[in-house]
Amino acid sequence: MERPPSRLASVAALGLAASLAACTSAPPASPLASAPVVAEASQGPTGTAGEPAHSFRPLPLGAIDLGQVVHELVKQHQSGRHVVVAFWIPREYWRAALHAGGADAQIEPYMAVFEPYLLFLVAEAEVTRTGRYSYTSRADLRASLRLRTREGEALPPLPWSQVDPAMINLIESLRPVVAASIGDLGANLAPFVFPSSVPGAAGRPEPLGDPLRSSRLDLQLSDTSLVWALPLESLLQPKVCPVDGASFSGRYRFCPMHGVPLTSP
């Protein structure tokens, strides 16, 4: 596959940098304190895994707030002096970022590049006695990083030799702008790629992480588990209670006050 032009790759990368900068605008107490912490939510109102994608109505691209999307995509876990930060960058983020950058004509070519993969940026560190951060090497991260499937299989990151050069080109466009936007943490966020699906029932592909479907994404680093409860609220149209017109998250199916099915405006 032909590599996407680096200039256009930078459109989405710069959008990502701006979103990260917005998330980290408050003066951080430490390099890792700047990463937004997203609470791990249960499936709750989203229903069970396997619910059809059409149960949730996505926002128009122009209505998506990239900063809110980034807040949902970044996970942080801290236990004592041990800190793990992971940033999942799904293709839906790139779709919205390219639209925001006026590169609509390149959206579908980029989506074709992302289709086979799930991309994560991951950093792990130990806080030293002097308050500095000692980061885990990329080789050690790769050795212990796993993506859990619904059946419990632990998938290792794909070797770079199995990743399309066009995808590698996109990843390379991200690294300098992420490092510039959040400093030491950004410079130590290592990219890892996983397959976007595994063989399911009757040989049909089973998606591992779809931001617009009810499911969960479980990334494990040694004994640390980071979970994304899906779908992402920031990508969904809000829903309305037909009784009083109150607005609720697009992830909800029923009004928590009246128990009636919510409707889309």
Percentage of residues in the chain having pLDDT higher than 70: 79
Q: Which residues contact 151 (CB under 8 A, 6 or more apart)?
A: none
| 170 within a domain of the structure (yes/no) | yes
> CA end-to-end span of the chain, whole Å?
41
Q: Where are the beta strands (DSSP E) in 110-264?
A: 117-127, 133-135, 145-148, 154-155, 190-195, 197-199, 205-207, 215-221, 224-230, 239-240, 247-248
In a domain, residue 247? The reply is no
Count of domains observed in the chain: 1
- Selection from 182, 146, 148 nearest residue 70 by Cα: 182
Q: Are strands 74-79 and 82-88 parallel, antiparallel or unpaired?
A: antiparallel
Evaluate whether residue 40 is within a structural domain: yes
Q: Tell whether 252 is covered by a domain.
A: no
Percent of the chain at pLDDT > 90 equals 51
In a domain, 184, yes or no: yes
Query: Of how many residues is the chain composed?
Result: 265
Please tell me what DSSP assigns to residue 77: E
Answer yes or no: is 50 within a domain: yes
Question: Which structural domain range is residue 29 located in?
Answer: 6-236
Each residue's pLDDT tens digit, 236-257:
999 999 999 999 989 888 999 9
If DSSP codes are grouped into helix, strand and coil, which group holds residue 155? strand
pLDDT, tens digit (0-9, with 9 covering 90-100), for 147-181: 999 888 999 999 999 999 999 988 988 888 788 77
